[in-house]
């Protein structure tokens, strides 16, 4: 089989980790007789430097014509002073909107070999945890009306949080469908004691739950949820939440797994096409030094195989190779303890490839 993949390497460490993921994908292609065809395009700060825009039309067109998209991180201090519509991060928001990618899937899994890297106590971790955050991705405050105005207190700025029934219903269905394949529990996170948008959110989620009688549904306010993932992460299976709350909670959960450099993500819409990226940032302070952890991007490629291409055995193969590398003690600097000798981005990639 042939699969067309749009490649957006991005900024900072993005090119390094994406190149690692491509090498692993090529090894999978050789083993399972698939052909991956890559088309590289620019987005983020690197695109602004060339086109004066963070998301050129060419990039949108290539992404739309591809079977899926592999993305590195974007952004960096170099572009921090740009107007908001020119900032690198607008490229990611634009791609999600242009491609109709409304569901962000962020697994928070504590690999057994990394239990010592988690900031949580051993008695809290227990046998580990496996949380799936399902985050609404194209609505809410990031896409709502925004602006600034003069007030009697001086310059004022505002961003509006808004959700429609349709937006909540479709993301809720995604969460319940994922839960049906897992432990059949959904925790919906909102702030319905304060926000009108959250009251609608809760009402629609409860309506959708009636179509899934096997699923246990419970609700948490976002502040309580932030505490509960620290106090007892094992209580969670699927967390369903809004764009803003999901952005924050998934990053919090990532730290509990030992490193933000370990976790992948998938942004999905209708028809199977998706955008797959690590949840970490561009880390410009270590760019080009070979210190970046490629595992999150490699696992993002595994998610691409599973969710966009329905290549489950191939995805399992990548995940097993990553787990073996960790079990055998290989560590990049972000997950290495003081007594360990960290290996480089390239070395970790080669080791994972060797286990495929």
Residue 142 falls in the annotated catalytic set? yes
264 and 247 in a common domain: no
Q: How far apart are CA 192 and CA 174, in angstroms?
A: 21
| Average pLDDT of span 253-274 | 89
Structure tokens at 251: 């990053």
User: Residue 306 belongs to a domain with what CATH number?
Assistant: 3.40.718.10
- Unique residue bearing structure tokens 């960096």: 76
Q: What is the DSSP string of 78-99?
A: GGTTS-GGGSTHHHHHHHHHHH
How much is the average pLDDT of 74-82?
Answer: 94
User: Across the chain, what does the average pLDDT equal?
Assistant: 95
Q: What is the count of structural domains for the chain?
A: 2
**Closest C-alpha to 175, from 164, 187, 167:** 187
Ranked by mean pLDDT, which of 111-120, 237-246, 260-269 comes out on top?
A: 237-246
pTM, entire model: 0.89
Tell me if 129 is assigned to some domain.
Answer: yes
Please indicate, yes or no, if residue 188 is contained in any of the structural domains. yes
Is residue 112 in a domain?
no
d(CA 287, CA 44): 15
Q: What is the DSSP letter of 207?
A: H
> Is 320 in the same domain as 273?
yes
User: Region 205-213: what's the mean pLDDT?
Assistant: 98
Last residue in a domain, options 228, 256, 284: 256
Dig out the tokens for 223 from the structure: 């502040």
Q: Which of 247, 291, 307, 353 is catalytic?
A: 247
Q: Which of 7-21, 105-119, 207-221, 223-237 has the lowest mean pLDDT?
A: 105-119
Active-site annotation holder among 49, 130, 177, 251:
251
Return the higher-pLDDT residue of 349 and 335.
Answer: 349
Whether 129 and 239 map to the same domain: the answer is yes
Quote the percentage of the chain above a pLDDT of 90.
88
Say yes or no: 196 and 243 in one domain: yes
Mean pLDDT of all residues in 85-97: 92
**pLDDT average, residue stretch 300-310:** 96
CB-based contacts of 245, cutoff 8 Å, min separation 6:
135, 189, 190, 191, 222, 225
In which domain, by residue range, is 38 found? 1-107+259-356
User: Does position 209 have pLDDT exceeding 80, yes or no?
Assistant: yes
Please tell me whether residues 293 and 354 are part of one structural domain: yes
Confidence of residue 298 (pLDDT cuts 50, 70, 90): very high
Of the residues 3, 102, 142, 163, only one is catalytic, namely 142
Burial (CB < 10 A; 0-12, 13-18, 19+), residue 231, is exposed
Residue-level pLDDT at 338: 65
- Which pLDDT score, from 0 to 100, does residue 339 have? 57
Mean pLDDT calculated for residue range 279-286: 93
- Quick one: how far is CA 162 from the chain centroid? 22
pLDDT of residue 219: 98
- pLDDT of 116: 85
Structural domain contains residue 176: yes
Q: Establish whether 191 is a catalytic residue.
A: yes
Give domain status of residue 331, yes or no.
Answer: yes
Let me know whether 176 and 153 are in one domain.
yes
Claim to verify: residue 252 and residue 271 sit in the same structural domain: no
Residues 291 and 220 in one domain: no
Task: Pick the catalytic residue from 9, 102, 163, 191.
Answer: 191
Asked if residue 337 has pLDDT above 90, the reply is no
The answer on 71 and 16 residing in a single domain is yes
Residue 224 lies in a domain: yes
Taking a C-beta distance cutoff of 8 angstroms, is the pair 148, 158 a contact?
Answer: yes
Last residue of a domain, one of 241, 256, 271: 256
Does 102 score more than 60 pLDDT?
yes
The confidence score (pLDDT) of residue 270 equals 84
98 and 147 part of one domain: no
CB neighbours of residue 234 within 10 Å: 14
The per-residue DSSP string of 124-161 comes to HHTT--EEEEEEE-SSGGGTS-EEEEEETTEEEEEE--
Model confidence at 238, pLDDT cuts 50, 70, 90, reads: very high
Confidence of residue 117 (pLDDT cuts 50, 70, 90): confident
Rounded CA-CA distance 169/205 in Å is 7
Domain identity same for 204 and 183? yes
In the residue annotation, 223 being an active-site residue is answered as yes
Residue 113 within a domain: no
Residue 338 phi/psi, 5-degree rounding, is -55, -35
- Of 256, 283, 303, the residue at which a domain comes to its end is 256
**Where do the H-state alpha helices sit in the chain?**
14-32, 45-51, 57-65, 89-99, 122-125, 165-180, 196-209, 222-231, 243-256, 295-307, 312-327, 345-354
Torsion angle of alpha carbons 96, 233, 253, 257, nearest 10°? -120
**% of residues, the chain, pLDDT over 70:** 99
Per-residue pLDDT for 126 more than 60? Answer: yes
Provide the pLDDT for residue 340. 72
- Mean of pLDDT values over 146-170: 96
Return the pLDDT at 10.
Answer: 96
In a domain, 114, yes or no: no
Same domain, 133 and 240: yes
Calpha distance 55→41 (Å, rounded): 10
CA distance linking residue 195 with residue 257, whole number of Å: 31
CA 81 to chain CA mean position, Å: 25
Spot the catalytic one: 61, 112, 223, 316: 223
């Amino acid at each position: 089989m042939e699969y067309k993949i749009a490649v957006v390497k991005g900024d900072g460490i993005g090119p390094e980790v994406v190149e690692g993921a491509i090498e692993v994908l090529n090894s999978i292609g050789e083993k399972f007789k698939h052909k991956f065809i890559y088309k590289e395009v620019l987005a983020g700060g690197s695109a602004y430097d060339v086109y004066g825009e963070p998301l050129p039309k060419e990039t949108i067109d290539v992404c739309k014509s591809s079977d899926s998209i592999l993305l590195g991180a974007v952004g960096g201090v170099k572009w921090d002073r740009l107007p908001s519509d020119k900032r690198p991060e607008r490229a990611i928001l634009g791609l999600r909107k242009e491609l109709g990618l409304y569901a962000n899937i962020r697994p928070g899994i504590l690999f057994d070999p990394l239990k010592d890297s988690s900031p949580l106590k051993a008695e809290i971790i227990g046998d580990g945890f496996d949380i799936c955050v399902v985050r609404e991705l194209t609505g809410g405050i990031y896409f709502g009306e925004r602006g600034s105005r003069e007030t009697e207190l001086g310059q004022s700025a505002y961003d509006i949080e808004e959700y429609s029934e349709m937006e909540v219903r479709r993301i809720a269905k995604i969460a319940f469908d994922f839960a049906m394949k897992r432990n059949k529990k959904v925790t919906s996170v909102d702030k319905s004691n304060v926000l009108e948008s959250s009251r609608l959110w809760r009402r629609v989620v409860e309506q959708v739950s009636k179509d899934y009688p096997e699923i246990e549904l419970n609700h948490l306010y976002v502040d309580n949820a932030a505490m509960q993932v620290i106090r007892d992460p094992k209580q969670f299976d699927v967390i369903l939440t809004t764009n803003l709350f999901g952005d924050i909670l998934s990053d919090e959960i990532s730290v509990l797994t030992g490193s933000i450099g370990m976790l992948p993500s998938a942004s999905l819409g209708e028809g199977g096409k998706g955008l797959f990226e690590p949840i970490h940032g561009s880390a410009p302070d270590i760019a080009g030094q070979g210190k970046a952890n490629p595992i999150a991007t490699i696992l993002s490629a595994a998610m691409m195989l599973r969710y966009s291409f329905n290549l489950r055995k191939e995805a399992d193969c990548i995940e097993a190779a990553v787990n073996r590398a960790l079990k055998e003690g290989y560590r990049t600097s972000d997950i290495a303890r003081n007594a360990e000798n960290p290996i480089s981005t390239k070395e970790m990639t080669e080791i994972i490839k060797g286990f495929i």
